[in-house]
Amino acid sequence: MSMRELSFAQALNEGMAQAMEADPRVFIMGEDIGVYGGAFGVTGELVHRFGELRVRDTPISELGGAGVAVGAAIAGARPIYEFQFSDFVSLAMEQIVNQAAKMRYMLGGKISVPVVFRMPCGSGTGAAAQHSQSLEAWFGHVPGLKVVEPSTPEDAKGMLLAALDDPDPVLIFEHKLLYKTKGHVPEAMYHTPLDKAVVRRAGKDATVAALGIMVQKCLDAAEILAGEGIDLEVIDLRCIRPIDAATLIESVKKTTRLACVYEAVKAFGIGAEVSALICESEAFDYLDAPIMRLGGTDSPIPYSPILEKAAVPQVEDIVAGLRSLVTKRF
């Protein structure tokens, strides 16, 4: 497959366009996704290519919009519903958690709900407490949903296309600071698995599991620590539900240490699930030190740029944490 460099946002846009060209059942819904092009410019010019029937601006009602998307999926369409900010999903929890996630089970597998929810998430834009959260762990708790968080433009497109072909509802969390990042993206249509983590950097001294924007921060930290003789293995989880236990277990058995790095509030987050997964597996006997969680502070995201940065792990925090981890023992 030929490779070009696209931004994360361009990769998503291309994936949606290719899916819409290939399958007339695919359409997009959301607030300001038409002529405005989306709150973060992801849908762009798609309304001019496919028209207002397939790129549908919705009223300011996440409950209503998500409900229409779920109903359309049950009726045989392949809708993509974009939340302006993932924080607003709290207004549509009924439709996602009580309807989309449970319909296949409650009707004995006679129907499917192939809806994709796109969720711009995370801090770093000065949008304050109600527009800057990382809520992926909420949905990892719900059977019937698939929950993913790509960290590269290539995965953003591939996971979107895989989600559109999946019979179950898929939530794609997209960190807002990643939209402008660039990387190689195949031009053809392709699928990135919705159940596989990937090792972004091989190492031997400790395993670092991360999500979204934290993957690159962990890779940057690994480069700094490599200069000190510390060799980190960085795993991009990519998938929250289902989580790829096998990749994590094999890595921890090799490195004997584990840190989980994520932007969401540390308590009850993805780091707790990763920690429990390892503790309940054969990898536990290989651990040489307690598992470390590096997550966000136990507070809403502040508006102040200085405090906002302090509320989530930065490269220097990861460096300090991992430097400490590799010296610890039970």
Query: pLDDT, tens digit, for every residue of 52-69?
Result: 999 999 999 999 999 999
Share of the chain above pLDDT 70, in %: 99
Q: How does residue 4 score in pLDDT terms, banded at 50, 70 and 90? A: confident
- Shared-domain flag, residues 177 and 219: no
330 is a domain residue:
no
Where a domain ends, among 186, 211, 226?
A: 186
Active site residues: 62, 131
- Shared-domain flag, residues 93 and 242: no
pLDDT in tens, 270-319: 999 999 999 999 999 999 999 999 999 999 999 999 999 999 999 999 99
pLDDT at residue 3 tops 80:
no
- Shared-domain flag, residues 251 and 302: yes
Element (H, E) at 14: helix 8-22
- Shared-domain flag, residues 180 and 203: no
204 is a domain residue:
yes
Mean pLDDT, rounded, for 253-281: 98
Mean pLDDT of the chain: 97
102 is a domain residue:
yes
Element (H, E) at 29: strand 26-30
DSSP assignment of 209-228 equals: EE-THHHHHHHHHHHHHHTT
Torsion of CA 59, 64, 70, 72, to 10 degrees: -60
329 is a domain residue:
no
pLDDT at residue 183 tops 60:
yes
- Shared-domain flag, residues 46 and 149: yes
* Separation between Cα atoms, residue 23 and residue 307, nearest integer Å: 45
pLDDT for position 298: 97
pLDDT for position 223: 98
CATH of residue 285's domain is 3.40.50.920
The beta strand positions in 237-282, using DSSP E, are 239-241, 258-265
Which DSSP state fits 283? Answer: G
pLDDT at residue 1 tops 60:
no
Q: How does residue 43 score in pLDDT terms, banded at 50, 70 and 90? A: very high
- Shared-domain flag, residues 224 and 169: no
- Shared-domain flag, residues 13 and 156: yes
* Separation between Cα atoms, residue 91 and residue 31, nearest integer Å: 14
Partners of 294 in the β-ladder: 261
Residue type, 249: I
Residue 289: burial class (beta carbons within 10 Å; 0-12, 13-18, 19+): middle
In which domain, by residue range, is 236 found?
198-324
pLDDT for position 28: 98
Number of domains, the chain: 2
pLDDT in tens, 188-233: 999 999 999 999 999 999 999 999 999 999 999 999 999 999 999 9
pLDDT at residue 2 tops 70:
no
pLDDT in tens, 155-169: 999 999 999 999 999
Where a domain ends, among 155, 186, 217?
A: 186
- Shared-domain flag, residues 10 and 127: yes
* Separation between Cα atoms, residue 24 and residue 181, nearest integer Å: 30
Q: What are the structure tokens assigned to 137, written together?
A: 């762990």
- Shared-domain flag, residues 172 and 294: no
pLDDT in tens, 73-114: 999 999 999 999 999 999 999 999 999 999 999 999 999 999
* Separation between Cα atoms, residue 53 and residue 56, nearest integer Å: 6
Where a domain ends, among 186, 217, 251?
A: 186
Strand order in the sheet with 232-236: 198-201, 232-236, 206-210, 258-265, 292-296
Backbone phi, psi, residue 122, to 5°: 90, 170
Q: What are the structure tokens assigned to 76, written together?
A: 């045989």
- Shared-domain flag, residues 210 and 177: no
* Separation between Cα atoms, residue 183 and residue 157, nearest integer Å: 11
| 210: number of Cβ within 10 Å | 30
* Separation between Cα atoms, residue 76 and residue 135, nearest integer Å: 29
- Shared-domain flag, residues 89 and 162: yes
Residue type, 272: A
Closest C-alpha to 56, from 74, 30, 82: 30
* Separation between Cα atoms, residue 88 and residue 61, nearest integer Å: 9
Share of the chain above pLDDT 90, in %: 98
- Shared-domain flag, residues 16 and 164: yes
